[in-house]
Structure 1
Amino acid sequence: MAFFNSLLFGIYSQTKQSLQGGVQTSCPQPQIIIPSAAYGGAIISFVLCPSELVKCRMQVQGTDSLVPKSSRYSSPLDCAVKTVKTEGVTGIFRGGFTTLLRESVGNSVFFTVYEYVRYHLHLKLQAESSQHRHLIDAGVGVVTGGLGGVAFWSAVLPLDVAKTIIQTSPDKSSTRNPFRVLNSIYRRAGLKGCYAGLGPTIVRAFPANAAAIVTWELAMKALGIRHG
């Protein structure tokens, strides 16, 4: 996650700067934020998909009592190697399209919420004493990152549910179309089934993304990089 977040924030910042054409503005511009975030999400999906496939398969293998221990993966590397041997190189990228959709849409939502909430909070707090500036900035980072994370997962959790099913299905010939998977879930369990695991995901999303944003902004300050 450290690598993926570094890649995502780096691509987002550079793409945003390129689209701005060197013109710095504090007011959020959705025509710049959304394509920058979607592009960053699309790029990281290519490295995120294989790692998530391994993670998901390692997580669910112990839940199926019908799978003998001899057939279980002994390590993440063992899982990756066996996947490539049995399913080919494309097997390790199973669920890639769904991951790309999740990351592109999700990060567009995340960075839009982050940029707008950050902008309006700073407008309200700009008159505060400079001696409390660091605490105020950290507080803004917590709120913007946390709300952005909650918005991300609220928007794309169904795609994540579909991705997990696609990546962990024992039937390797089953559909890789996330919309067919979600349609099947909806007919069987309704909207609630498409949002399975929402509670734990939201509980994790707020502190995790708050920490990521606060760290990102502190790092930019320490490096003398201006937030555009």
Structure 2
Amino acid sequence: MGENSGYKDYVAGLLAGVATVAIGHPFDTVKVKLQKHNTEAHGVKYRSGLHCTSRILKTEGVKGLYRGATSSFVGVAFESSLLFGIYSRTKLALQGGVQISGPQPQVIIPSAAYGGAIISFVLCPSELVKCRMQIQGTDSLVPKSSRYSSPLNCAVETIKTEGVKGIFRGGCTTLLRESIGNAVFFSVYEYVRYYMHSRVKAASSNHSNLIDMGIGIMTGGLGGVAIYRRAGLKGCYTGLGPTLVRAFPANAAAIVTWELAMKILGIKHD
């Protein structure tokens, strides 16, 4: 990786974040709806994630699945840019500026945990706004007079009524989750990627872009599932099903986009 390619790492990460939201946001909306309505005494009861999805499409259309996506695209794109950029640059620094063949846990884990800790300060307010916008769907119990007109309005009103600490509610938990979660994600990604590439090279000399994409889908998807399986027992988490279903395609899209962007930008990967 060239010395002057630092900004390119952040650009590649930003594109990965856009892909994550485009693929994963509908699943996230369903999860939030299940968590909101199935825990209210007089709320709408959804039998499953599929029932919830069909209800949203019927009452709100496709745009209902992307409710709150504006703040997600901005927040996740910025967060992803920081995460992948910091991870790449920190990993390179810990390796002494030299590309090393084979994953090293003493490099991967601190790089990923550091990146996760930094992005938690962006992710916390972004997630809070996104969830509040998702909850106020057309079939919600939230009265029209109390609805937020936009993600910015939601953020401003939250700060007005709850103060700055209100927009960072749950910050410590988010920091811990992102540090540990990303250490797990990148560890799984790097080890599975190294193993699969080694097997492919041993089996065939024809290493195509299609094979790279397939490996990216598998490594990103498995890394995402490894994170979300840490969420807890199903009985303790309403909406865990859509979260697990989302984990594979959303993270697969992120990794494939990240690796493709790095290749286009001329960034050398280990």
TM-score over 0.5 for the pair: yes
Report the Cα distance in structure 2 between the residues aligned to 1:227 and 1:145, rounded to whole angstroms: 15
In structure 2, runs of 5+ residues without a counterpart are 1-75
Instruction: Within 5 Å, give how 1:44-59 maps onto structure 2.
Output: 44-59=119-134
SS of the aligned residue for 2:202 comes to coil
Q: Determine if the alignment matches structure 1 residue 196 to structure 2 residue 232.
A: no
The answer to whether the aligner puts 1:27 opposite 2:102 as a matched pair is yes
Please report how far the alpha carbon of residue 29 of structure 1 lies from its aligned counterpart in structure 2 after TM superposition. 1.0
- Residue among 213, 216, 222 paired with 2:258: 216
Task: Report if aligned partners of 2:201, 2:207 keep a CA contact under 8 Å in 1.
Answer: no
Across the two proteins, how many residue pairs are aligned to each other?
Answer: 194
Q: What is the match of residue 148 of structure 1?
A: 223
**Residue of structure 1 equivalent to 2:188:** 113
Aligned to 2:163: 88
The whole-number CA distance in structure 2 between the counterparts of 1:202 and 1:3 is 23
Runs of at least 5 residues in structure 1 that lack an aligned partner in the other structure: 159-190
SS at match of 1:127: helix
SS in 1 for 2:208: helix
Across the aligned residues of Structure 1 and Structure 2, the Cα RMSD in angstroms comes to: 1.7
**Residues 86, 7 of structure 1: CA spacing in aligned structure 2 closer, same or farther, 3 A cutoff?**
same
Q: Deviations over 1:33-75 (max 9, x none)?
A: 111101101111101111111111122245763x432122222
Q: Percent identity?
A: 76
Summarize the alignment of residues 60-99 of structure 1 with structure 2, pairs less than 5 Å apart: 60-62=135-137, 65=141, 67-99=142-174
How many angstroms apart in 1 are the aligned matches of 2:166 and 2:107?
Answer: 35
Give the number of the structure with larger relative contact order, counting CA–CA contacts within 8 Å between residues 6 or more apart. Answer: 2
SS of 1:25's equivalent? Answer: coil
Change (3 A) 1:135 1:68: closer
Between the aligned partners of 2:98 and 2:223, the Cα distance in structure 1 is 25
Task: State the one-letter code of the partner of 1:192.
Answer: K
Q: In the TM superposition, what whole-angstrom CA distance separates every residue of 1:127-165 from its partner, at most 9, and x where no partner exists?
A: 35454421111111010001001111112x35xxxxxxx
Q: Amino acid of the residue matched to residue 95 of structure 1?
A: G
TM-score, normalised by the number of residues in structure 2: 0.67
